[in-house]
A and B are shown apart, each in its own frame.
Chain A
Amino acid sequence: MPGSDLGGSDFEEFAASALPALLRFGHVLTGSPDEAEDLVQEALAKSLRRWRRVSADDPVAYVRKVMVNTHLTRWRRWGARVRVGEVPELAADDAGLARSQEWDALRRALAQLPSRQRAVLVLRYLEDLPDLAIAALLGCQPATVRSQAARGLAALRPLLAAGTTPTMPGDDEYAR
């Protein structure tokens, strides 16, 4: 009865220690802190319900997989829903300001990417997963992962290639 695996203190410990990283992962994946919360909650709830099985393997990988798949099913694109108003205050010093602008530009640019491309980039460059693992997670061929990553990187190139004072390319430039 997998549904009865309602965990114990080991789940509590796991959730408490993994939450910050999962929330950050969810934020990068979805672009919204609210949606990150919902996604993490849903994925952890799913994991909790089959905790005995999940905990025997790699629980972080499992939760991440649930998050990605849930997200990909849920949202086709979310670019239009990014709330610019939620960008935190810019840092006072110049380097901090530039970094903050870069971060914001990246956030907008990611928002313009198709969700699978974005998921590939996040898994590859934030979670540092090998292409083979990403392919298994997304249920596609490693070659597809490579091509998606290449396209994603190409789309981000103008942003990433800019210096410490980045120009802010218009959204159109990234639109497909």
Chain B
Amino acid sequence: MPDDAHLENKLRGLLRDPKWSVPPRPDAQARIRQAARRQRVRRARLTGAAAGTVIVACAAIIPATIGLLGRAPGLAGGKWPTASTVYAEFDAKLTGTVVPISAASNRPGKPIHVGGLMAVTPDGKTLYVSSGASTIPISTATNRPGKPIHVAGYLTIAPTGKIAYAAGVGGAVGSVGGKITPVNLATNRPGKPVRVCSIIGMIAFTPDGKTAYVSCPSTGPSTVIPINTATNRPGKPIHVGPGGREIAFTPDGKTAYVLGVHTVTPVNTATNTPGKPIRLGANPTALIAVNPDGKTAYVGTIGTVIPISTTTNTPGKPIHIGAGVPAEEMAFTPDGKTAYVANEEGPTGRVVPISTATSTVGKPILIGVGAVIAITPDGKTLYAAGQNKVVPISTATNRPGKPIRLPYGFPGGILATP
């Protein structure tokens, strides 16, 4: 019988076996920083999300439906003269801080001391800020936080505005055991959790809101699980390329594009069948977005954006946005003529305008340390949040306006209400 010292040495050897090694992803650092921005509340036992940028960006570009008026101190009549309020989230305080900004006057309102991933209902009436352990609803009319919803993970709101699914996207608390929790947005009550898969990468609703696609990324072949939002029942898994995590739909909802580590898999949403994977030839960041004109999907890499024709599903010539600059966020003007790409990481936070018709790049607008972006529903102003500031950028001239100074640290996210 070997003695303990022998056993211990053998265990030491086996624990050092090269098979335990995991090659780091090329964009690991960018992902870490993204996750850092999305970790807000220390009280939460677990927080964090790798994906989610696209959800926030999508929420920010939903066309305007209803005018929204918020109150701002010092404004005549106490009301914003135009429809949209921009909410920027920063990492000040232990909880994080959300600052409402009138898109009309560019004046900030009183900061709200809650933090986390933001999502807004399609009618613009309620902002939800999810900290991982709970979600706070905030009336956009009063900017007052409401009663917390005790649901683990981050909310993704259906385009119908009736329900949201909560999950800890990117490996946080809600994805433990791979469950998503439906939340009735009329009552803010969570329903029975639905088991989907061991790690939930992202939740995305089809534009008609009838189906939610939940990605289950893995280092090997991955799947996306369609969930019927009427019954909350998961359907048959759809096989996508390795690491399939981020999902973007064409505006007509006919195709879902799932971004993996080397490929994009188009999925026919009528039949839930995957098409031939599109090879990227470069390592992507977590960015995939479809132009509102429906013609082009864009995938971010470090230094470029790769356009993919949605008619042929073939990648075009990469659009260079700056050496070493990771393309991490994208917002489109509602007419789809201009795409703005921003980076949270890399040498300098910048916003790069791209003319989508010609794939030509305009002069970058430098923001400082990192940038998150949102565009107003009228498409007139792009807001880029950087450290201690939000910069309004006219989409007509692509020139930055006077920065709005907000001493609240680093931005976690930004959106404009519909």
- Would you list which residues of chain B between 1 and 38 have a CB under 8 Å from chain A? 1-2, 4, 7-8, 10-12, 14-17, 19-25, 28-29, 31-36, 38
Chain B contacts for A73, CB-based, 8 A: 45-46
Q: Bin the interface of chain A by size.
A: 35 or more
Chain B: CB-nearest residue to A157: B7
Chain B contacts for A48, CB-based, 8 A: 32-33, 36
A176 within 8 A of B: no
Selected contact of A6 from candidates B176, B198, B410, CB within 8 Å? B410
Q: Is the CB of B46 within 8 A of A16?
A: no
Q: Is the CB of A125 within 8 A of B92?
A: no
Q: Is the CB of B171 within 8 A of A42?
A: yes
Selected contact of A28 from candidates B20, B39, B219, B369, CB within 8 Å? B20
Task: Provide the B83-109 mask, 1 if CB < 8 A to any CB of A, else 0.
Answer: 000000001111010000000000000
Q: Is the CB of A125 within 8 A of B12?
A: yes
Chain A: CB-nearest residue to B2: A161
Report which residue of A73, A99, A122, A160 has the largest number of chain B beta carbons within 10 angstroms of its beta carbon: A160
Chain B: CB-nearest residue to A26: B22
Q: Is the CB of B29 within 8 A of A15?
A: yes
B217 within 8 A of A: yes
Chain B contacts for A19, CB-based, 8 A: 24, 28
A94 within 8 A of B: no
Q: Is the CB of B46 within 8 A of A45?
A: no
Q: Is the CB of B176 within 8 A of A24?
A: no
Chain B: CB-nearest residue to A126: B15
B77 within 8 A of A: no
Q: Is the CB of A41 within 8 A of B410?
A: no
Task: Provide the B371-388 mask, 1 if CB < 8 A to any CB of A, else 0.
Answer: 000000000000000010
In angstroms, Cα B34 to Cα A85, docked, is 31
In angstroms, Cα B22 to Cα A26, docked, is 9
Chain B contacts for A33, CB-based, 8 A: 22, 219
Chain B contacts for A35, CB-based, 8 A: 171, 199
CB distance from A84 to the nearest CB of B (A): 12
Selected contact of B172 from candidates A42, A49, A100, A128, CB within 8 Å? A42
In angstroms, Cα B39 to Cα A153, docked, is 37
Q: Is the CB of B15 within 8 A of A6?
A: no
- Would you list which residues of chain A between 63 and 86 have a CB under 8 Å from chain B? 70, 73-75, 81, 83, 85-86
Chain A: CB-nearest residue to B8: A125
Q: Is the CB of A42 within 8 A of B409?
A: no
Chain B contacts for A119, CB-based, 8 A: none
Q: Is the CB of B39 within 8 A of A121?
A: no
In angstroms, Cα B94 to Cα A95, docked, is 54
Number of interface residues of B (CB under 8 A): 56
CB distance from B298 to the nearest CB of A (A): 24
CB distance from A169 to the nearest CB of B (A): 15
Selected contact of B48 from candidates A1, A41, A83, A88, CB within 8 Å? A41
B173 within 8 A of A: yes
B281 within 8 A of A: no
Report which residue of A1, A73, A81 has the largest number of chain B beta carbons within 10 angstroms of its beta carbon: A1
In angstroms, Cα B34 to Cα A121, docked, is 32
A34 within 8 A of B: yes
Q: Is the CB of B170 within 8 A of A156?
A: no
CB distance from B250 to the nearest CB of A (A): 29
CB distance from A51 to the nearest CB of B (A): 9
In angstroms, Cα B409 to Cα A2, docked, is 10
B232 within 8 A of A: no
CB distance from A89 to the nearest CB of B (A): 10
Q: Is the CB of B19 within 8 A of A88?
A: yes
Asked, given contacts A24-B22, A37-B22, whether A42 binds B48 with beta carbons under 8 Å apart, the answer is yes
Q: Is the CB of B15 within 8 A of A125?
A: yes
B50 within 8 A of A: yes
Selected contact of A41 from candidates B20, B35, B96, B220, CB within 8 Å? B35
Q: Is the CB of B20 within 8 A of A161?
A: no
Q: Is the CB of A3 within 8 A of B91?
A: yes
In angstroms, Cα B33 to Cα A156, docked, is 38
10 tightest Cβ-Cβ pairs between the two chains A and B: A38-B171, A3-B91, A45-B35, A45-B36, A23-B22, A4-B409, A126-B15, A42-B48, A19-B24, A160-B7
Give 12 CB contacts A-B under 8 Å: A3-B92, A4-B387, A4-B410, A20-B23, A24-B20, A38-B171, A41-B28, A41-B35, A44-B32, A46-B48, A49-B36, A103-B19
With A42-B48, A153-B11 given, name 5 new contacts (CB 8 A). Answer: A1-B93, A45-B35, A73-B46, A125-B12, A157-B7
